[in-house]
Amino acid sequence: MFKDFQPAGGVFATLDLLRVERRGALLHVRLNRPAKRNSVSDALLAQLHTVFVNVPSDVRVAVISGEGGHFCAGLDLSEVSERNVVEGMQHSRSWHAAFDAIQFGPVPVVSVLHGAVVGGGLELAAATHLRIAERSAFYALPEGQRGIFVGGGGSVRIPRLIGVSRMTDMMLTGRVFDAEEGQSCGLSNYLVDEGAGLAKAVELAERIAGNAPLSNYAVTQALPRIAELPPTEGLFMESLISSIAQGDEGAKERVRAFLDKRAAKVGKAQ
């Protein structure tokens, strides 16, 4: 258990493949299949979905990490060969639903990446809003070598992080990126020493939780959609979201605090 976090109750306490903990406005969701490198079985996927459609209203930020030596080694391949085409399609859509609940849910989500971030594990990481990598992290998309294709949203989300060309390379050749390469190409937002990822995630999560909730929601929900629009429509949508955000009473108070010199000015990073 991370410092001062306590086991979450209610439905979260019934999820045996996850460890769900709370501290104030922060929710920590830890994948808990270390013997399987936290590979995603149908049951684990369903439990992740359950968490992110039941985020308590007083939670402001969620953190996802993995128990043991790895974040997530992807799809549990022992469950693949038993499906026909229709079942495979339905299975892929269940991944989409679970990961959409993360990306398009009510709160920003920060992931802590270490060890294997492979296949469906990389698809999961790509659904989070910020990614912190420890130096042990490595990234791969071995679907090409397995005779399958990404099915958890990776073909949509991962190229938006690293581009189609890099993803093509990873899938065709089995290329593996280490933590430094992943940081340089956009797979992670932060790179930290081994064992420091969760502390960094909590530090960032607390900072994010201090923002106005409406502003956080606009950043995680409106910004990616605006980026997909043609410029003229995007600019109109920006004006609409900007006017909604600045009309919020929480935003007005923050502006007043800055004008009254009760809020710090932006300074150069130390």
20-56 pLDDT, tens digit each: 999 999 999 999 999 999 999 999 999 999 999 999 9
* pLDDT the model gives residue 107: 97
What percent helix, strand, coil does the chain show, rounded to 5?
Answer: 50, 15, 35
Q: Hey, which residues are catalytic here?
A: 123, 143
CA distance readout (Å), 20 to 6, 12, 30, 259 = 9, 6, 6, 40
77 confidence band (pLDDT: 50, 70, 90)? confident
Phi, then psi, of 133 in degrees rounded to 5: -105, 135
- Across 4-33, b (16+ Cβ under 10 Å) vs e yields ebeebeeebeebebbbbbbbebbbbbbbbb
**How far is 28 from 211, CA to CA, in rounded Å?**
19
| Residues pairing with 18 in the sheet | 31
pLDDT at 263 over 80: no
How far apart are the C-alpha atoms of 141 and 68, rounded to whole Å?
Answer: 21
Quick one: average pLDDT of 139-152?
A: 89
* Confidence (pTM): 0.91
* pLDDT tens-digit map of 171-181: 999 999 999 99
Query: Residue 173 and residue 148: Cα distance in Å, rounded?
Result: 14
13-22 pLDDT, tens digit each: 999 999 999 9
Band (pLDDT 50/70/90 cuts) for residue 265 is low
d(CA 19, CA 67): 9
What pLDDT is recorded for position 246?
A: 81
Q: Could you identify the residue written with the tokens 């709160």? A: 107
- Average pLDDT score, the chain: 91
pLDDT higher than threshold 70 for residue 60? yes
Residue 79: Cβ within 10 Å count: 14
pLDDT at 258: 47
pLDDT digit string (tens) for 112-133? 999 999 999 999 999 999 999 9
Q: Which residue has the higher pLDDT, 83 or 72?
A: 72
Q: In what order do the strands lie in the sheet with 138-140?
A: 116-118, 138-140, 177-178
Give the pLDDT confidence of 169-215 residue by residue, as tens digits: 999 999 999 999 999 999 999 999 999 999 999 999 999 999 989 99
Residue 160 amino acid letter: R
Q: What DSSP designation does 260 have?
A: T
pLDDT at 2 over 80: no
Q: Which residues pair with 29 in a beta bridge?
A: 20, 64
What percent of the chain is predicted at pLDDT more than 70? 90
- 269 pLDDT tier (thresholds 50, 70, 90): low
